């Protein structure tokens, strides 16, 4: 494996590799023969029409679903079908399309949850509240506050997480994944439900994550986000990969256009709108 020569993204070693991965639910082939690689330091976009199987791919990578075929490799080692907590331990963290914060808990407590695997205290130290345990609790709070500062959430640290506006909740979920210093974070539609201003801010956040040395995969419908921040895009339709390449190439790829045109009824589809604009300009 080549060590990264510079901080420029595509030169990194292969971090994650999907090798002919497939999954069936009953008779339905949700994902079929899907292969792609993610290199260290990249931001990879996974896009496709609604129901193409994007979230299913994420669920397979993070161990929520076990693929029926193929292999998923992490640092060259097979991790196919490992339990989610073991995938997390390996250094992969994710957010969810439908935000999954711990209800009735503060922003701070939610972010502390992200540090679960960094925790040293044993159960009896917690019950007896030993000095070492107290010191660790302080350190957990400090570290969480650091990340909350970075994501501009420090002021709401003591608020109940689910009472915040949608955009802030997304950032809390991101803070919860980032606090663990993962190698790879997987963002499932981070722009969903955000207003224009918030999704512009999201671009900066995603770049900041990459600049902190964390590799990013994102599923996203918001093309302003996908086209602006990704280094590489994988397009899937009906569970199969139909294209892969730089954002500029993907925009003009006929197969991609066809896939998106195939669902005319979805007039709000942003990629289709982007494609139409592109065509109008040329």
- Residue ranges binding another protein (CB under 8 A): 62, 64, 83-85, 87-89, 93-94, 96, 100-106, 108-109, 112-114, 116-117, 119, 121, 123, 125-129, 133, 137, 141, 158, 160, 176-177, 180
Comparison of 108 and 214: residue with beta carbon closer to another protein: 108
Task: Kindly state the smallest distance separating residue 158's Cβ from another protein, in Å.
Answer: 6
Comparison of 153 and 271: residue with beta carbon closer to another protein: 153
Comparison of 83 and 248: residue with beta carbon closer to another protein: 83
What is the number of residues in the chain? 282
Comparison of 111 and 256: residue with beta carbon closer to another protein: 111
Task: Kindly state the smallest distance separating residue 134's Cβ from another protein, in Å.
Answer: 9
Task: Kindly state the smallest distance separating residue 253's Cβ from another protein, in Å.
Answer: 32
**Pair 220, 199: CB distance under 8 Å:** no
Comparison of 138 and 246: residue with beta carbon closer to another protein: 138
Task: Kindly state the smallest distance separating residue 55's Cβ from another protein, in Å.
Answer: 13
Distance CA 173, CA 155 (A): 16
Comparison of 104 and 146: residue with beta carbon closer to another protein: 104
Strands 184-188 and 232-237: unpaired
Task: Kindly state the smallest distance separating residue 168's Cβ from another protein, in Å.
Answer: 16
**Pair 19, 71: CB distance under 8 Å:** yes
Task: Kindly state the smallest distance separating residue 112's Cβ from another protein, in Å.
Answer: 7
Q: Which residues of 28-47 are buried (b: 16+ CB within 10 A; e: fewer)?
A: ebbbbebebbbbbbbbbbbb
Task: Kindly state the smallest distance separating residue 109's Cβ from another protein, in Å.
Answer: 6
Distance CA 37, CA 211 (A): 20
Distance CA 73, CA 64 (A): 16
Comparison of 188 and 222: residue with beta carbon closer to another protein: 188
Task: Kindly state the smallest distance separating residue 152's Cβ from another protein, in Å.
Answer: 19
Comparison of 122 and 279: residue with beta carbon closer to another protein: 122
Q: Which residues of 75-114 are buried (b: 16+ CB within 10 A; e: fewer)?
A: eeeebbebeeeebbebbbbbbeeebebeeeebbbbbbbbb
């Amino acid at each position: 494996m080549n060590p990264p020569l510079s901080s420029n993204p595509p030169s990194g070693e292969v971090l994650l590799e999907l090798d002919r991965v497939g999954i069936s639910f009953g008779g339905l082939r949700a994902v079929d023969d899907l292969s792609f690689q993610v290199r260290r330091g990249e931001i990879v976009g996974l896009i496709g029409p609604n129901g193409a199987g994007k979230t299913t791919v994420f669920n397979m990578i993070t161990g929520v679903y076990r693929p029926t075929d193929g292999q998923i490799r992490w640092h060259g080692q097979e991790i196919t079908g490992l339990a989610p907590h073991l995938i997390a331990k390996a250094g992969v963290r994710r957010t969810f399309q439908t935000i999954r914060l711990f209800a009735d808990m503060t922003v701070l407590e939610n972010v502390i949850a992200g540090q679960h695997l960094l925790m040293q205290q044993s159960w009896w130290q917690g019950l007896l509240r030993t000095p070492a345990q107290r010191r660790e609790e302080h350190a957990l709070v400090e570290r969480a506050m650091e990340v909350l500062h970075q994501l501009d959430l420090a002021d709401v640290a003591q608020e109940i997480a689910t009472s915040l506006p949608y955009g802030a909740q997304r950032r809390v979920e991101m803070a919860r994944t980032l606090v663990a210093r993962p190698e790879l974070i997987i963002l499932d539609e981070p722009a969903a439900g955000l207003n224009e201003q918030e999704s512009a801010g999201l671009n900066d956040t995603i770049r900041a994550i990459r600049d902190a040395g964390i590799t990013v995969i994102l599923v996203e419908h918001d093309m302003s986000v996908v086209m602006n921040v990704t280094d590489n895009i994988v397009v899937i339709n009906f569970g199969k990969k139909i294209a892969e390449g730089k954002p500029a190439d993907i925009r003009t790829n006929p197969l991609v256009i066809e896939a998106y045109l195939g669902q005319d009824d979805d007039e709000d589809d942003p990629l289709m709108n982007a494609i139409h604009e592109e065509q109008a300009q040329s």
